[in-house]
Amino acid sequence: AGDGDCGHTHARAARAIQEWVRARPPPAAPAQLLSALADLLLEKMGGSSGVLYGLFLTAAARPLLNHNDLPTWADAMDAGIEAMQRYGGAAPGDRTMLDSLCAAAQALHALRSPGADLLPVLATAVQSAEAAAEATRHMEAGAGRASYISSAQLLQPDPGAVAVAAVLRAVLEELR
């Protein structure tokens, strides 16, 4: 869908992250880690996805400057989504990566509850993101590159939404 480069763009980003991690230890502080990833993706990922991930990570880093507790991670997700929506112009239901991100964010709001347990909450967020990505299969594209294509030709889930769900799944698996 769109210009057909989503997989290549994400593969380029993954290779850049792997090279970066091999070359130097990533920052331990969450805000600095997200900021460094934003810079890396803006430089190496390319395409509109690189810009959107860069915006997301830059905004998500801000709440984490002073706190690193679980509720702040939910705040960081919300801040990243808000930045993407503001600068990208898309909204949930537009058949974009925001569909998966917003579904995950809703589940991550549970991190604000006292006694929240990260891994089960994150597992639910990943499942929500995957379901939202699959649901894009039946949506009309309201934004992004796919909005330039006839909906009759959009037979697969949105690749950006699928990629977001895959990234979140990888984070969960690494934390487990």
What does 140-173 look like in DSSP terms, one character per residue?
PP-SSGGGGS-GGG--S--HHHHHHHHHHHHHHH
Provide φ and ψ at 69, rounded to 5°. -85, 170
- The mean per-residue pLDDT over the stretch 52-57 comes to 96
What pLDDT is stored for residue 138 in this prediction?
A: 79
What pLDDT is stored for residue 144 in this prediction?
A: 56
- Alpha helices (H) in 62-116, listed in sequence order: 70-88, 97-108
pTM comes to 0.87
The Cα–Cα gap between 163 and 45 comes to 13
**3-state SS class at 46:** coil
What pLDDT is stored for residue 163 in this prediction?
A: 93
- The mean per-residue pLDDT over the stretch 146-158 comes to 58
Percentage of residues in the chain having pLDDT higher than 90:
72
- Domain 5-175: give its CATH code: 1.25.40.340
Average pLDDT value for the chain: 89
Q: Are 77 and 60 in contact (CB under 8 A)?
A: yes
What pLDDT is stored for residue 148 in this prediction?
A: 44
pLDDT surpassing 80 at residue 17: yes
